[in-house]
A and B are shown apart, each in its own frame.
Chain A
Amino acid sequence: MAEPVLSIRNLCKSFGALKATEDVSIDLYPGEIHALIGPNGAGKSTLIHQIAGTLKADSGEIVFLGDRLNDLSVAERARRGLGRSFQVSSLATEFSALRNVMLAVQSVQGSSFRFFRPVTSDASLTEPARAALARVGLEDRANVPAAELSHGERRQLEIAIALALGSKAFLLDEPMAGMGPEGSKALTGFLSELRRQAPILLIEHDMDAVFALADRISVLVYGRVIATGTVDEIRTNPEVRRAYLGDE
């Protein structure tokens, strides 16, 4: 088997007495969609925050493309190729969809310290941005402020941003949330394609989507990974059924 792109080793994080992440180890291999599921409050988002760098882990290691990430800033991790979408969409809401993606393009190009040339007439920014929007099907909404986009469209926009970043791995936090069945279906198809570009660590509540997409699944309960395996292994795992699926 190939080297993992992203490797989380024995990660721990507590808030006071609450152990939000307890000895979590997860690997993300090239070309796969690795789904992370678990009941509410299991610590899924906390884990994503630690990987992306918005929270600092107490102990353990996050290794990405062979480098330890633990002490790097959010921006530095993003520059190294960690693309992220947020559980509650996180966009520059006054900017148009296009300008949101252009921000990612300008980051990839290296310098934000250019003071004079207007971005809107800079084809080296607009063209890649439009291409990314087109890939997620938002090309018609390019000039609409992010605040006016529908819930589903914002998710698509977040993925477009991750695409524009040329990310080497995607962290997607509930991309299907709030989408209608049509949207979910389209997005499922899209994510299935996306894994060819870079592997995806997917947090998702929509079990149909998870079972349709995931190559492997890890189940997180009370901050701990109780099982990791293929879709079928997880479906039949008695501990998972008891702890999690039984409640569904």
Chain B
Amino acid sequence: MSSALLIEQLLNGLQLGVMLFLMAAGLTLIFGVMGLINLAHGSLYMVGAFACAWVAAQTGSFWIGLVASLAAAAAMGAIVEIAIIRRLYKRDHLDQVLATFALILIFSEGTRWVFGSVPLYLNVPSQLAGFVTLPGGSRYQLYRLAIIGVGVAVALGLYLLISRTRLGMRIRAGESDREMIGALGVDIRTLYTIVFALGAALAGFAGAMVGALQSVQVGMGEPVLILAFVVIVIGGIGSIKGALVGAILVGLIDTMGRFLMPQVFSIFMGTSQAATAGAAVASMLIYLVMAVILAVRPQGLFAGAK
């Protein structure tokens, strides 16, 4: 195993982590501010990917598609929030789980209704189709580097938004005391809609960027959603910082596990067996890590106020 390969795998893990962060940030923000658990977050990821693929196919431009994905996911988020979600804030988690579970069914089948059953085509934009030469000589795909960059920028932007702007101040107020914020004269209904749409836009954005790498199809959001749950549980629900750390941790562990586990197992057994056994352990690895972290810190690494 060369060091160049190792560096490349670390970058891959980082890139997966960054994608997970975009998903997890929205989930954790929505939970932190509104106390809502949103299973349909993965559906908004799918909405973003479909919007981007469809618009890119119509206009021929990935970039217009990317903007469309943000707009579509944010708009869909706002509509869902106004029509349904806002009736759930005062309900217990059980009702929230069931309602958003129902939303997944509606979104998945609705998307198939509109776009048909065949996966859509979406490719990386030509401007980002090249490679970068890494120290050590191997090449790394520019688009994936760009994703890492975008993820870091979004993390920074979220930090600035929350710590420096009026909206951020209100979000922080909402996180620490929901009654208080009403007393401050903030229009809570609008704030909640904005936060939900922001979370949705982040998910849609992630969906669009990943859509260029993989298959844009119905149900694509569900595996990511569950990983994002693991991320925010590890990081501490409600904490953006926790989501960032958790996402990168999960990204790295998952990627390195898939890469290294079969090699570890091949010390003890034949190649074919090691490959299957290693892959089996690798697929469970992040859940095991999560169990260990929670056994030590039940509220996650960066426990929020909740």
Complex: A in contact with B (CB within 8 Å): no
